[in-house]
Amino acid sequence: MRIIFFGTPEFAVESLDAIMHSSHEVAAVVTVPDRPAGRGQKMLFSDVKGYALKHGLLLLQPEKLRDPQFLAQLESYHADCFVVVAFRMLPEAVWAMPPKGTFNLHASLLPRFRGAAPINWAIMQDEHETGVTTFLLNHRIDEGAILLQEQTPITPNETSGSLHDRLAQMGRTLVVSTLDGLEAGTLAPQPQQGEPCPAPKIFRDDCRIDFHRTCAEIDRQVRGLAPYPAATMTLRNPDGEDVLFKVFEVAPDTGSAEPCGTLICDGKKVLKVSVADGFVRIISLQMSGKRKNCIEDFLRGNSLTGWKLVI
Q: Dump strand ranges (E) for the chain.
A: 2-7, 25-30, 35-37, 42-44, 59-60, 81-85, 102-106, 129-136, 146-153, 231-236, 242-253, 263-265, 271-275, 278-287, 292-294, 308-310
pLDDT reported for residue 37: 74
Using N-to-C axis directions, what is the helix angle for 160-184 and 10-20, rounded to 10°?
Answer: 30
| pLDDT, tens digit, 9 for 90 and up, residues 203-230 | 999 999 999 999 999 999 999 999 999 9
Separation CA 104–CA 41 (nearest Å): 32
Q: Are 132 and 150 in contact (CB under 8 A)?
A: yes
Question: Which residues touch 278 (CB under 8 Å, ≥6 apart)?
Answer: 215, 252, 253, 254, 255
pLDDT reported for residue 247: 98
pLDDT band at 257 (very low <50, low <70, confident <90, very high): confident
Separation CA 181–CA 178 (nearest Å): 5
pLDDT reported for residue 311: 87
Evaluate if residue 308 carries a pLDDT over 80. yes
Separation CA 83–CA 102 (nearest Å): 6
Mean pLDDT, all residues of the chain: 96
Separation CA 19–CA 160 (nearest Å): 25
pLDDT reported for residue 110: 98
pLDDT band at 244 (very low <50, low <70, confident <90, very high): very high
Mean pLDDT of 299-310: 93
